[in-house]
């Protein structure tokens, strides 16, 4: 190793050691006492945390100095100390207010941002496509027994095997699906018309139109393929995707409609087909679409509005409409389109396609909040809580309490007190001693679960008791995990603890200052009047004039109006005379004005008399100002200066209050430590340079 390399190495080691020593020294400084307020110590770290957080540069680019901010901080701590000594933080109103703020502030800690962002991006991506799919449903309740669930799963799996072996999906849907829309419905005279089954075809849909597991299957299955069995709240599904296309968005169309029932005779079918083709031919030859609607459409509801239909998305119309619209530009008319309802000629008026991510983001957030998938974020948080706090379920004790709860729970008649002696743990959260530190361990007993069941039980039908209890137990575990984490948020998240302290102190500060200063200054009329009398010379009128401003809108009225204004001194007489003369274009504004109160008064010389005409720089007006009296500077009455006096009185009360608090809670600043804090901040502001 040459000499240069050795020097570089030793220099690097020296700099690292200096940095290490400097870091340790700074860490040590953070723990030192900066100020003592009535026996309460405030460390450098506590002070600087608030100083850096709340002291961002103003518009001028300047920060409050350490000395000035320390004065503010001391006054703040004095008031909070007084409020605490007065037990204001034990008042029910304070506790309720702080609890309300805490609920709001805690929400982000129970939301997994990465999951929420992924769901948002997924929803936006899916919003770009419409999917057409068919399904087969084998119904099974979410509360079914394991035996019934397995039976349904085996049935749907066997159907899939048949389809994979060559059976037509539509035939299988007609034969097996528990979705009644898959099968034809026969006509029943006087009760229902014939309805052709859809053979499992659900048409087109997009994000949020289906329950989330079904949506996942539809978007994740390639076109032409059949999904694995999918479980939703309705049961098990097989999903066959038949098409995916760019999203139609929201479309506004008009149509000409010729009705043709699915069970129509061949003669009716031929006649109606010929009719729609003839209408289309006339449009091709130049017949106005709206005229054709009025003359020929059998949809009497829309015919009155040029055939226009309510705007719709892909899931609201038959798939033939979606395909037809996809081939049209605004203003274009389609060839005749056949649906289950008959024949249509469609005119596209407009369609709104999905916007950019930023444009759609808030709407998607709102939809996500109301959708089943929003639980994924909460589920991720609960899973983390379980993992980090070593969730333990005691299965034997759980089964014992399940057995002890009778079937009255299915009728909402179960009483927990009958199981008050069951005290075995069913659930545990928390860590035991670790390197000498003891984290809280919390245990929930069989009786705790029984009490939860009593509160949460609801009347149930067609459900096994143990299946229902397991459902309640799962909710019980999740709820206790959330509650446990909520109880320890301040311990687990120092930033949250600091935020709660700020709200705690801020509410106390506001309440006590309101009592001692703000409201007192308004209500203490005697004190306010005494303060005003002692400082009367601080509230002076500047030189003023009693004057009237006459604004004339019409040029042709100026001469007549001026003659009347000159003839009378009283503005009331002037107004009456103007009205008698039929002149209504004059605005009269009398008042007492200081400089800056009125731009026209400011433009004339302040001596008694009528001014020359003034033109407005923003309106077509001719303006005259009549100075009636010039008033010298004089003291204001309390009613004239009340707002300013109240503000000054509040400042006075606060200063006097601070003096009293400093006597009650002596303040001692450690000047040596303060000097080091100033040096540290100066170094930061200079970019760390010495």
* Whether 394 and 484 share a structural domain: yes
* Whether 554 and 458 share a structural domain: no
What local confidence, expressed as pLDDT, does residue 434 receive? 41
* Whether 236 and 256 share a structural domain: no
* Whether 233 and 260 share a structural domain: no
* Whether 555 and 481 share a structural domain: no
Asked whether residue 457 is domain-assigned, the answer is: yes
The domain of 594 spans: 541-635
What local confidence, expressed as pLDDT, does residue 25 receive? 55
**CA–CA gap between residue 598 and residue 592 (Å, rounded):** 10
Which of 220, 246, 272 finishes a domain? 246
The per-residue pLDDT for range 158-192, each reduced to its tens digit, is: 999 999 999 999 999 999 999 999 999 887 777 77
Q: How confident is the model at residue 682 (pLDDT cuts 50, 70, 90)?
A: confident
Does 350 score more than 70 pLDDT? yes
pLDDT above 70 as % of the chain: 93
Residue 196, token pair as written in the block = 């052709």
Q: What angle do CA 370, 372, 376 make, to 5 degrees?
A: 110
- Whole-angstrom CA distances from 550 to 517, 579, 586, 590, 623 are 45, 14, 7, 9, 6
Which of 246, 271, 298 finishes a domain? 246
* Whether 221 and 261 share a structural domain: no
Asked whether residue 302 is domain-assigned, the answer is: yes
Asked whether residue 81 is domain-assigned, the answer is: no
Q: Compute φ and ψ for 43, nearest 5 degrees.
A: -85, 165
**CA–CA gap between residue 627 and residue 547 (Å, rounded):** 4
Contact 381, 314 (CB under 8 A): no
What local confidence, expressed as pLDDT, does residue 186 receive? 83
Across the chain, mean pLDDT equals 91
**CA–CA gap between residue 296 and residue 306 (Å, rounded):** 11
Say if residue 169 is exposed, middle or buried (CB neighbours under 10 Å; 0-12, 13-18, 19+): buried
Mean pLDDT of 538-545: 95
Domain count, the chain: 4
**CA–CA gap between residue 364 and residue 358 (Å, rounded):** 10
Contact 138, 160 (CB under 8 A): no
Contact 399, 422 (CB under 8 A): no
Q: How confident is the model at residue 429 (pLDDT cuts 50, 70, 90)?
A: very high
CATH code, domain carrying 339: 3.10.50.40
Does 3 score more than 50 pLDDT? no
Mean pLDDT of 488-513: 93
* Whether 207 and 282 share a structural domain: no
CATH code, domain carrying 548: 3.10.50
Residues in a beta bridge with 337:
344
Residue 559, token pair as written in the block = 């001469």
The per-residue pLDDT for range 76-99, each reduced to its tens digit, is: 999 999 999 999 999 999 999 999
* Whether 145 and 238 share a structural domain: yes
* Whether 134 and 241 share a structural domain: yes
Q: Which residue has better confidence, 494 or 426?
A: 426
Does 7 score more than 90 pLDDT? no
Say if residue 469 is exposed, middle or buried (CB neighbours under 10 Å; 0-12, 13-18, 19+): buried
Does 47 score more than 50 pLDDT? yes
The per-residue pLDDT for range 649-668, each reduced to its tens digit, is: 999 999 999 999 999 999 99
For 80, how many CA atoms within 13 A lie in the half-sphere containing its CB? 15
- Whole-angstrom CA distances from 183 to 224, 261, 529 are 22, 16, 88
Q: How confident is the model at residue 58 (pLDDT cuts 50, 70, 90)?
A: low
Helix (H, G, I), strand (E, B) or coil at 167: coil
Mean pLDDT of 250-260: 95
**CA–CA gap between residue 631 and residue 541 (Å, rounded):** 9
- The reported pTM is 0.70
Contact 342, 258 (CB under 8 A): yes
What local confidence, expressed as pLDDT, does residue 512 receive? 95
Does 689 score more than 70 pLDDT? no
**CA–CA gap between residue 354 and residue 368 (Å, rounded):** 16
What local confidence, expressed as pLDDT, does residue 54 receive? 79
The per-residue pLDDT for range 118-161, each reduced to its tens digit, is: 999 999 999 999 999 999 999 999 989 889 999 999 999 999 99
Mean pLDDT of 211-230: 97
* Whether 405 and 422 share a structural domain: yes
Asked whether residue 122 is domain-assigned, the answer is: no
Q: What angle do CA 393, 394, 400 make, to 5 degrees?
A: 130
Torsion (CA) 409, 413, 418, 423 in degrees, nearest 10: 40
Q: Which residue has better confidence, 194 or 160?
A: 160
Does 398 score more than 70 pLDDT? yes
**CA–CA gap between residue 322 and residue 516 (Å, rounded):** 69
Q: Which residues contact 608 (CB under 8 A, 6 or more apart)?
A: 627, 628, 629, 630
**CA–CA gap between residue 545 and residue 629 (Å, rounded):** 6
Asked whether residue 53 is domain-assigned, the answer is: no
């Amino acid at each position: 190793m040459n000499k240069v390399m050795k020097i570089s190495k030793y220099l690097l080691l020296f700099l690292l050691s200096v940095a290490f020593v400097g870091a340790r020294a700074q860490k040590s400084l953070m723990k030192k006492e900066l100020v003592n307020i009535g026996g309460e110590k405030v460390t450098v770290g506590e002070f600087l945390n608030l100083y850096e957080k709340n002291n961002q540069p103003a518009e001028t680019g300047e920060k409050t100095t350490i000395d000035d901010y320390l004065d503010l901080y001391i006054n703040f701590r004095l008031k909070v100390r007084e409020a605490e000594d007065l037990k204001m933080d034990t008042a029910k109103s304070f506790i309720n207010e702080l609890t309300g703020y805490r609920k709001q502030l805690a929400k982000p800690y129970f939301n997994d941002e990465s999951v929420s962002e992924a769901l948002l991006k997924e929803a936006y991506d899916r919003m770009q496509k419409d999917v057409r799919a068919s399904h087969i449903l084998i119904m099974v309740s979410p509360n079914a027994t394991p035996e019934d669930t397995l039976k349904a799963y085996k049935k749907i799996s066997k159907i899939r095997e048949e389809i994979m072996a060559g059976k037509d999906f539509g035939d299988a849907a007609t034969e097996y699906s528990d979705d009644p829309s898959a099968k034809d419905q026969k006509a029943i005279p006087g009760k229902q018309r014939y309805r052709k089954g859809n053979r499992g075809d659900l048409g087109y849909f997009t994000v949020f139109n289906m329950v989330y597991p079904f949506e996942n299957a539809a978007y994740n299955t390639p076109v032409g393929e059949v999904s694995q069995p999918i479980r939703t709240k309705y049961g098990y599904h097989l999903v066959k995707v038949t098409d995916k296309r760019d999203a139609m968005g929201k479309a506004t169309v008009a149509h000409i409609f010729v009705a043709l029932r699915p069970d129509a005779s061949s003669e009716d079918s031929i006649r109606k087909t010929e009719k729609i083709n003839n209408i289309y031919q006339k449009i091709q030859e130049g017949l106005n679409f709206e005229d054709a609607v009025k003359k020929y459409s059998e949809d009497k509801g829309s015919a009155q509005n040029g055939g226009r239909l309510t705007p719709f998305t892909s899931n609201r119309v038959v798939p033939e409409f979606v395909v037809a619209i996809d081939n049209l530009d605004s203003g274009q008319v389609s060839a005749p389109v056949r649906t289950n309802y008959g024949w249509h000629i469609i005119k596209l008026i407009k369609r709104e396609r999905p916007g950019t991510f930023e444009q759609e983001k808030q709407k998607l957030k709102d939809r996500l909040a109301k959708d089943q998938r929003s639980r994924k974020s909460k589920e991720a948080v609960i899973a983390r809580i379980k993992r980090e706090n070593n969730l333990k379920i005691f299965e034997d004790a759980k089964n014992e309490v399940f057995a002890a709860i009778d079937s009255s729970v299915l009728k909402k008649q179960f009483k927990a007190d009958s199981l008050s002696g069951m005290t075995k743990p069913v659930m545990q959260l928390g860590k035991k001693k670790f390197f000498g530190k003891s984290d809280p361990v919390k245990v929930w007993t069989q009786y705790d679960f029984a009490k939860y069941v009593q509160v949460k039980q609801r009347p149930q039908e067609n459900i096994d008791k143990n299946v229902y209890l397991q459902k309640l137990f799962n909710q019980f575990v999740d709820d206790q995990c959330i509650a446990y984490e909520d109880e320890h948020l301040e311990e687990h998240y120092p930033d949250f603890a600091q935020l709660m302290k700020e709200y705690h102190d801020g509410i106390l500060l506001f309440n006590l200052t309101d009592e001692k200063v703000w409201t007192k200054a308004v209500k203490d009329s005697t004190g306010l009047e005494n303060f005003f009398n002692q400082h009367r010379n601080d509230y002076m009128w500047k030189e003023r004039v009693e004057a009237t401003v006459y604004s004339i809108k019409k040029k042709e009225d100026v001469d007549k109006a001026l003659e009347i204004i000159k003839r009378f001194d009283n503005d009331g007489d002037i107004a009456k005379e103007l009205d008698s003369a039929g002149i209504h274009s004059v605005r009269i504004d009398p008042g007492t004005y200081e400089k800056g109160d009125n731009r026209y008064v400011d433009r004339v010389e302040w001596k008694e008399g009528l001014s020359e005409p003034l033109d407005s720089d923003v309106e077509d007006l001719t303006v005259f100002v009549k100075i009636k009296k010039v008033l010298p500077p004089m003291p204001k009455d309390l009613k004239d200066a009340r707002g300013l006096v109240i503000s000054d009185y509040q400042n006075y009360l606060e200063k006097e209050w601070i003096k009293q608090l400093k006597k009650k809670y002596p303040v001692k600043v450690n000047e040596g430590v303060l000097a080091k804090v100033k040096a540290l901040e100066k170094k930061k502001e200079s970019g760390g340079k010495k």
